[in-house]
């Protein structure tokens, strides 16, 4: 069964450093999402992406964050200058279509720890 993959599974970084989280969505999917879950809190929407553009972003997704689809398979989330509060589990998701009934398929996540 096709699945969303994410690398790395764990990332430890120093505050102020840049990190890039990578995702490979399901191959024929067209819509991509990033979510995050801070320990003990809800899964929160960060950004949605389609046709090489951001469709929507949350308040969390400030200028320190950016997303990119550098080739036909990868979808990346970059945090330019990490803060302690960026420590969280980051999930990538993808869907084939953008309809209400479409299921979003999630990757296993990247656990980011900012020291």
Contact call for residue 25 and other proteins (CB under 8 A): no
Contact between 38 and 88 under an 8 Å Cβ cutoff? The reply is yes
Query: Two tokens at 87?
Result: 């420590």
| Closest to other proteins by CB, 9 or 17 | 9
Contact call for residue 48 and other proteins (CB under 8 A): yes
Backbone angles phi, psi at 60, to 5 degrees: -65, -35
For residue 5, give Cα distances in angstroms to 9, 75, 78, 106, 115. Answer: 10, 10, 17, 8, 25
Task: Say how many residues touch other proteins, by CB under 8 A.
Answer: 30
Q: Using the rule CB under 8 A, give the single segment among 1-9, 14-22, 66-74, 75-83 that binds other proteins.
A: 1-9
CB of 16 to other proteins, least distance (A): 27
Contact between 7 and 92 under an 8 Å Cβ cutoff? The reply is no
Q: Which string of x and - marks every residue 79-108 that binds other proteins (by CB under 8 A)?
A: ------------x-x-x--xxxxxxxxxxx
Contact between 5 and 21 under an 8 Å Cβ cutoff? The reply is no
Q: Using the rule CB under 8 A, give the single segment among 13-21, 52-60, 65-73, 77-85 that binds other proteins.
A: 52-60
Strands 110-114 and 10-13: parallel
The binding site for other proteins (CB under 8 A) comprises: 4, 6, 9, 31, 33, 35, 41-45, 48, 55-56, 58, 91, 93, 95, 98-109
């Amino acid at each position: 069964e096709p699945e969303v993959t994410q690398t790395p599974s764990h990332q430890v970084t120093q505050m102020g450093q840049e990190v890039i989280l990578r995702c490979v969505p399901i191959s024929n999917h067209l819509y991509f999402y990033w979510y995050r879950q801070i320990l003990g809190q809800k899964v929160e929407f960060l950004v949605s992406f389609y046709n090489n553009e951001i469709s929507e972003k949350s308040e969390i997704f400030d200028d320190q964050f950016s997303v990119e689809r550098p080739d036909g398979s990868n979808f990346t989330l970059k945090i330019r200058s990490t803060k302690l509060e960026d420590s969280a589990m980051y999930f990538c998701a993808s869907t084939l279509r953008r309809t209400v009934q479409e299921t979003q398929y999630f990757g296993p996540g990247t656990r980011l720890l900012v020291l």
